[in-house]
């Protein structure tokens, strides 16, 4: 719309919506007009949910996962195995691993990954607090569940070095051919790793998705 | 994430974001986590822009376009041709036509289109107010710029019938082969129309986008 006929209110709302990642100006306009069509209570509920999220959410003092109190529901759950800590980059990975229902231990959220390109150094991450947790003595195994990228590997190696003085087993999640992938199209580094790290054959293992 | 470990705050925000058209739960989660990463002022600005839009926006009493006062900036512009009214379905079409910079008249926003399937009848649209505007006597031409669909044609015909008693020229925007389209792939109804409604050849017309 010609600038001089635009509504400043609409313009402002569109700009805010378009500032979200993956939302372009066309989508932002569509969303703003959708809100105008809905009743006022809808937009109020929408805005207050976002404000409440930003204002009231806090982070677990132990594992730095998202929480609504000082201890997140995973750390507070006594039926989980508190001797096994899974180290992840972000909250999203906690959700992804929880969804597999294959892990009954607890987590440690780093809050990022070592990436000099993005100005993220080890000091910006929750690595010191992980070391202090492990020094507490209760933890027997630290599982590194970081991305299979250069940054993930660097971060994993840094944590491994930091934990060497402690009496703790450091493991890394398996890398290999994804379930459903064809050998023919698997890249050679993944395929090489999957041969090196082969495991004993189990009849129920091949399609255990 | 396992239900019992989910944060109600996050859940609520994700539900609200996912209620927007075209936003799925995965995108909604990504957006919610993005807001958590940004400072609190970002979410406050975001929420207040949406609330302000919904609360303060009003509609032009003349043309029902989006406005911030009783008269929208287009109706208030005396340099525009107030004898030519372009009838459109929604605000979005006003923006689209304004963007072409080919129209210097004023608008009339119906606020929808006749669509019995969606429960939209003529009474739900701003048709009566259009007739009253035309009866005022100042308007010489009404351009119907409605979608080239069954609903658009029905609405156009209804308005045409309603305006017949008035001394006003009713026109409809041209339908034909879109600029850039190949004849070979144009559907036969469009192509048939484009032959019936052929215009005098003008050298600067063929690529006048």
Domains defined for chain A, CATH in brackets: 3-56 (1.10.8.420), 66-173 (3.40.1360.10), 174-209 (no CATH)
Chain A residue closest to B35 (CA)? A54
Give the closest-approach CA distance of B95 to chain A in angstroms: 5
In this predicted complex, what is the ipTM? 0.75
Residues in chain B with CB shorter than 8 Å from the CB of A24 are none
Give the closest-approach CA distance of B71 to chain A in angstroms: 12
Phi, psi of A145 (to 5 degrees): -115, 70
Mutate to test the interface with A, among B9, B18, B22 (most CBs of A within 10 A): B9
The CA-atom distances, in angstroms, between B29 and each of A69, A100, A146, B93, B120 are 20, 18, 20, 32, 35
Chain A residue closest to B102 (CA)? A2
Q: If we measure between CA atoms, which residue out of A47, A102, A6, A54 comes closest to residue B40?
A: A54
Per-residue confidence of chain B (209 residues) as pLDDT tens digits?
445 566 888 989 999 999 999 999 999 999 998 998 888 899 999 999 999 999 988 899 999 999 888 899 999 999 999 999 999 999 889 988 988 888 999 999 999 999 989 888 999 999 999 999 999 989 999 999 999 889 999 999 999 999 999 989 999 998 888 888 888 888 888 888 888 888 777 655 555 44
Instruction: Tell me the whole-structure pTM to 2 decimals.
Output: 0.73
A181 vs A161: CA distance, rounded Å: 33
B135 vs B85: CA distance, rounded Å: 13
Counting every residue written for chain B, the total comes to 209
Residues in chain A with CB shorter than 8 Å from the CB of B77 are 5
């Amino acid at each position: 719309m010609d600038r001089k006929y635009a509504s400043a209110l609409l313009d402002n709302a569109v700009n805010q919506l378009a500032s979200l990642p993956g939302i372009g100006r066309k989508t932002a306009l569509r969303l703003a007009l959708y809100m105008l069509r809905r009743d006022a209570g809808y937009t109020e509920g929408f805005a207050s949910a976002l404000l409440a999220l930003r204002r009231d959410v806090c982070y677990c003092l132990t594992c730095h996962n998202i929480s609504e109190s000082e201890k997140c529901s995973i750390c507070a759950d006594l039926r989980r195995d508190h001797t096994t800590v899974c180290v992840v980059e972000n909250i999203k990975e906690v959700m992804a691993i929880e969804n597999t229902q294959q892990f009954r231990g607890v987590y440690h959220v780093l809050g990022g990954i070592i990436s000099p390109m993005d100005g993220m150094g080890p000091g910006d991450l929750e690595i010191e607090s992980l070391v202090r947790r492990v020094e507490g003595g209760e933890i027997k195994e630290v599982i590194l569940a970081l991305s299979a990228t250069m940054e993930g590997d660097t971060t994993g190696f840094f944590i491994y070095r930091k934990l060497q003085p402690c009496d703790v087993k450091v493991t890394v999640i398996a890398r290999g051919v994804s379930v459903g992938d064809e050998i023919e199209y698997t890249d050679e580094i993944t395929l090489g790793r999957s041969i090196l790290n082969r495991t004993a054959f189990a009849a129920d293992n091949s399609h255990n998705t």
